[in-house]
Amino acid sequence: MRISKLSERAGLPVGTVKFYLRSGLLHPGLATSATQALYDETHLARLRLIRAMLGVGRLSLAEIQRILDAIDLPVGDPEVRTSLVRAAIAGPDETPFDAHAEDAEVLSEMGWHISPDSPHLRTLMRALEAARSVGLSIDRSRLKTYAEAAAHVARSDQAELDSLPDAERPQALAASLVLLDPILSALRRLAGEHVATVNQGRVPGPRVSNA
C-alpha cells in the first residue's frame, strides 16, 4: 500500500509516518521510484505498536526506539532475544539503589527464580523507595499481597506468549510488558472505587453494578 493508505489505516497523519521513517522508528518501504514506496502489514503493525506505546504506554520516542531496536536484533536464540527486550524495557539506570533485606526476603519466599542483576529488580527497589519517601507504608505483608497478584497475572501472560510462534514473541513480549500496565492500573483504580464505596457503607456489600 502507499503511504497515504498506511497512514489512514494506522490513524496517523502522513507527516507523522514520514517522521517515523526518517527517524528510523519505522523500517523503509519497498521503493518503487525516487519518491514513492510500498508498505505492508509489518509497517502497519509497527505503527500501531509505536502509537500505543507513545499514548497509553506513556513512553518517550527514545524509549520506544530502544525497545524496537531490541525487538529487531538479529539474534537466533529466543531466550537471549527475550532477555534483551526485557533489558530494553527496564532501560539504562546507573543510580545505585538500597535494597531492603526484608523486600528481598519477600521475593525469595515467593520462590521466584530471579537473577540478582535483573533490571526489573532495580526498578522495583527504586519504586519502593519513591513510594516510601512520600509516607506510604509498604511492609512485608503488603508487598507479599502485591507479589501474589503479580504472579497471578504473569502466569496468564506467559501462557499467551507460549502460544505464539518464536518469531512473534519478542514483539508480543514488549507489547504485553508495556501495554498491560495501564490496564492493570485502571482495574486497580476501579476496584479501589468499589472497595471504598463498600467501606463507606453506602452499599450493603458487593453487588452487581449497572456499569
Asked if residues 65 and 88 have their Cβ atoms less than 8 Å apart, the reply is no
Q: Which stretch binds a second copy (CB under 8 A): 12-20, 27-35, 67-75, 193-201?
A: 193-201
Q: Find the distance separating the first CA and the last CA of the chain, reported in whole Å.
A: 41
Asked if residues 161 and 173 have their Cβ atoms less than 8 Å apart, the reply is yes
Q: Is 12 in the site for a second copy (CB under 8 A)?
A: no
State the nearest-atom distance from the C-beta of 25 to a second copy, in Å: 14
Between 2 and 123, CB nearer to a second copy? 123
State the nearest-atom distance from the C-beta of 34 to a second copy, in Å: 32
- Give SS3 for 30: strand
Q: Is 188 in the site for a second copy (CB under 8 A)?
A: yes
State the nearest-atom distance from the C-beta of 15 to a second copy, in Å: 21
Q: Which stretch binds a second copy (CB under 8 A): 15-23, 29-37, 67-75, 86-94?
A: 86-94
CA distances from residue 190 to 7, 58, 201 in whole angstroms, order as listed: 34, 20, 17
User: x/- contact string, 54-83, with a second copy (CB under 8 A)?
Assistant: -xxxx--------------------x--x-
Q: Is 166 in the site for a second copy (CB under 8 A)?
A: no
Burial class from Cβ neighbours inside 10 Å (0-12, 13-18, 19+) for residue 178 reads buried
Between 37 and 66, CB nearer to a second copy? 66
Q: Which stretch binds a second copy (CB under 8 A): 1-9, 12-20, 24-32, 158-166?
A: 158-166
Size of the site for a second copy (CB under 8 A): 92
What angle is formed at CA 159 by the lines to CA 154 and CA 165, rounded to 5 degrees?
125
Whole-angstrom distance, CA of residue 45 vs CA of residue 10: 8
Cell 500505543 maps to which residue? Answer: 52
Q: Is 155 in the site for a second copy (CB under 8 A)?
A: yes
